[in-house]
Structure formats: structure tokens, C-alpha cells
Structure 1
Amino acid sequence: MDVKNKVVIVTGAGSGIGKAIAIHFAKHGAKVVVSDINLESAQKVVDEIVTNFGEALPIKANVAVFKEVENLVQHTVANFGKLDVIVNNAGIGPHLLRTHESTLRDWDRVISVNQTGVFYCMKVALQQFLEQGYGNIVNIASLAGLKASPNNISYSASKFAVVGMTKSAAMEYATKNIRINAVCPGYTESALLTQLINAKPEMDAILKSVIPMKRYGKAEEIADAVVWLASENTKFITGQTITLDGGTSL
């Protein structure tokens, strides 16, 4: 996959899928900005990349704060002179409750990061891409953005929104040499999945029973798809949602 020397921002890259994506980009020769709300976590990922002879920079950013997103992009361009790709991965999960039991605070918290945060990152990155004359966005959505996800109203709403924003923006900028796609992971080994299973241990067997491959996805498998969409190998792909779910949506 041809991403050598591309400058890539990965949000929420301090752990889980974001960490795997950042490391995968670096392995393929990209210069990676490891962004996370937890700077210590971001620095650990950078250290791992540098130890393996990659190039990376940590930048703390809360994607729910517009000024911090602006700083993230500005700092990246100041350091590397350009921005080729942004991967909008930062996200949080809700408390698992039925819709009428969900709290307003939980709704606002999840929407602010998963939906508004993606909008902020798209808006600021697109301004940079239009100045450059090119760019690439990969949004991390979810299987929960494609099909019903009970007891998960805020998360589901936010991920359906990410899919919609991806498609709408892809149409707007298709003639501007800017591609925008999304990946929709199914049940993947991550902090969010661990949170779910810890809350309801019986969910482990239930979830695996609905996955035709009878296993969870691995963060590295999601990273493969993200780097591919960001590469020069997919120049004619835009506005798509790539589902990585072991067949669950079937």
C-alpha cells in the first residue's frame, strides 16, 4: 500500500484501533501525528513507532473542542508542511441503557465526541485540503451506524451520522481531488468491547454467536482497510463504507 511519506493524523490514537492504525501507517512509511486526549498514551505510541524506525509526533487534542482541532491541524502543517490524510477515529461509548432510560448527559457526551468531533475534524482538514488541492479523509464509523443497535441510542445515532457525513461530503469534494470514505468495524477487540463485556459478561457468547466467523475482529485488520483507503491504490474510491464485521451484517 503506497502511503510512503504521506503526513497522516490519527485521532484517538493512544490505544485500541487508533493505535493499530497509527502503527500500521508508520510501518508503510507514513509520517504519523498520533493525536489523543491523553498525551501520555500518545507519547507511548510515538515511542513505539520511533523505536521501529518510523516517524511520528504526539499532539494532545480533544476533538470535541473546535480550537483544539484547529491547533491539531495547524501544528501538523507547521511541522510537516502539509497534511495528506486524516483518520477520524476518536470515539467513546455510552452507558448501555434503553432509550427512555438514557441520560441527557450521556447523549451530549457521546454525540460531542463521536459526531461533532468528526465534523470539526472534517471541517478543519477540508480547509487545508482545499488550499493544497488534494486530501483524504477516512472516518471510523461502526456496524452500529448501519443496522439496529439496541440499548445504544447515542452511539448508534453518532455512527449513523458519521456514515451520512462521509457520503455527503464525498459528493461535495469529489471534483476537488479530495476523497472521503468510512470503515464500519463490527465487534472488534478494543476498549469499547471490553467495556461492554465487563458490564454484561454474558454478552461474550451472545456476540460471538451472531458473527459467522465466530470471533471478534482484530484492530490490525481494521488498520489494514484504513491504510488501503488512504493509499494511492484506491484513487477511484470515494463515499464508500467498508464493512469489516466477519459477516455479522449478513
Structure 2
Amino acid sequence: MRETRTVVITGATSGIGRNMALYFADRGYRVIGTGRDAERIHTLQEELAVFPVPGQVFQVDVRRYQEIRELVSHVESEHGAVHVWINNAGVNRAIGPTWEIDPDAWADDLAINLGGTFHGIRAIVPVMLRQGFGRIINLIGGGTTHAMKFSNAYGTAKTAVARLTENLAEELDELGAQIKVFALNPGLNDSEMTRALRSTPEGQRYFPDMEEWLRNGAADPQDAPACAYKLAEGLADKYHGRILTIYDPITEEGSLEPDLYKLRLNG
């Protein structure tokens, strides 16, 4: 029987993050989740309490580095090693032509999607270096490897996260660190984010086909958690520093082309 592994998931109280939290808990992980909404935190806490290894959910704003740092200190003190860190928290609220976007909305999208990911990395990498191992999974999304008009802040932030992942991987490799980092595209999910695009005036105006896209191509809610779990379990360490999607054949066998699954991928 192996030791209990700990995974921290930011933005775990809804959507893809919640699905991941329950998926990992069901497979024996100790899940530490974060969120901002008190009611949702309470709900997820109750859901995680029924598993053999009960999880915990904390009110954390990923825009604030100190809050992330305090969470990391608490988890390290209470549970020792942090085996997996998933930077999942994200928003897509700055919708419309770039020149019409409210500057505060643009800044907030970048602060959560990109800044929050950096804060997670900044806080957890020193811990993983001390313990000698770990895996980091950064969620990317639409607009990373292709243009996605009217959602420029989100796409810009997620593209930056992909490059951040590549750069971080090379920095870790230079140290000889046994830490693996991945950029994961979870596909199109029927989540709170896409529901907002279907219900808000801006979303309905600039993404009128969202309902049809979801009807014809929505991912299974378990696809992203299952893919993240493979990465967490070390089944795809050869993809270290790479961009992956839920549709990629993630296996331990075979070899990779030098630029395959990187941001500079063509096609």
C-alpha cells in the first residue's frame, strides 16, 4: 500500500477544478482545494469529507501571493510532501473587441489566469526542490495555440502560461530537479465559464455559437480529470514542459519530436 499523496488544486470549487478534486479524492489522494466563494467552499468540503482520505478546502485568492504562500506553509506543516500542484483557477470575463474591453477586466483576467499560475509556481517550487520531487500541472485553454477573437485577455494569459511552463521546465532541468511540469488543455467543457458565455449579453453577442459548440463537441466532464491524473501519476513524464490536450494519446511508450507539443507547434 503506497503512501497517501497530496494534490493541491486551485479554483477547485466549480467546473473543471471541482471535477478534478472529486476524481483525485476517489483515487486515494488527499485533496487540498482553493476557492473564493464561501458557500461553494463549504459544499466541496462536505463532498470531500466522505472519502477515505478527507480533503480540505481553503478560501484563497490566487491573485494574492501571500495567501498562496500561507496555504503552502500550512499544507507542508500538516501533511509534509506536496506531490502534485494543479494551477486550475481561471476566468474569462473580458469579452469583446480588444479596444473596447474595460482595462480593469483585462487586468483581472491576466491577474487570475497568469498571475495566479505564477504565484502557485513561486510558492510550491521551493517546497518541491526541498523534498526532491513533484509535478505541476498548469491549465491552459482556448486561444493558446490558435487565435480566439473576442476573448483576447484569456487567450493571451493562457498562451503565456504555456510559455511559462516551457521556460520553467528548462530551468528545473538545468538544476537536475526531479520536478515535472505540464501545460494541459482540458478541451471545451460545459462549465461555469462557458455557461457565462451563453447567458451574459457579451457572451451571447460575441459567442453566439457556444451552445452548438458544446452540443457537438463538449468534452466528457471526466476527460480533464483523467488526463491530469495520468500526469500526476507519472505516466507522461516524457511530456515534461509540453502542451497536452485531453485528446492526445498519452502513453509511456514511444518518443517525441523535439518541438512536438510545444508552443511553436505549427499546423
Same fold (TM over 0.5): yes
Structure 2 counterpart of 1:184: 185
Q: Which moved more, 1:116-125 or 1:196-205?
A: 196-205
Higher relative contact order (CA 8 A, sep 6+): 1
Is 1:203 paired with 2:209? yes
1:132 and 2:138 equivalent? no
**Structural mapping, 1:163-174, within 5 Å:** 163-174=162-173
Shift of 1:232: 3.1
- How much has 1:161 moved relative to structure 2? 0.7
2:164 alignment partner AA: M
2:94–2:153 Cα contact (<8 Å) kept: no
- List, as ranges, runs of 4+ consecutive aligned residues in structure 1 with deviation greater than 3 Å: none
Distance in 1, matches of 2:184 and 2:13, equals 19
Gaps of 5+ in 1: none
2:226 maps to amino acid: D
| Residue pairs, 1:1-250, within 5 angstroms | 5-174=4-173, 175-199=176-200, 200=204, 202-208=208-214, 214-244=216-246
Which residue type is aligned with residue 242 of structure 1?
A: L
- 1:215: Cα distance to partner? 2.7
For the aligned residues, what is the CA RMSD? 2.2
Superposed CA deviations along residues 38-61 of structure 1, whole A, max 9, x for unmatched, are 243123212212224342011111
**Deviation string for 1:161-220 (max 9, x for gaps)?**
1111111101111320000001112321100100111131832355358xxxx2311332
> Matched residue of 1:236: which SS?
helix
With structure 2 as the length reference, what TM-score do the two structures score? Answer: 0.85
How many residues matched? 243
Q: How far did residue 153 of structure 1 move? A: 1.1
Structure 2: gaps spanning 5 or more residues: 249-265
Secondary structure of the equivalent of 1:136?
A: strand
Q: 1:244 to 1:40 in 2, by over 3 A?
A: same
SS for the counterpart of 1:176 is coil
Deviations 1:130-166 (A, max 9, x none): 1111111001110321210100111111100111111
Bigger Cα displacement from structure 2, 93-102 vs 12-21? 93-102
Q: Secondary structure at the match of 1:232?
A: coil
Distance in 2, matches of 1:103 and 1:120, equals 24
Q: Which amino acid aligns with 1:220?
A: Q
Identity of aligned residues (%): 23
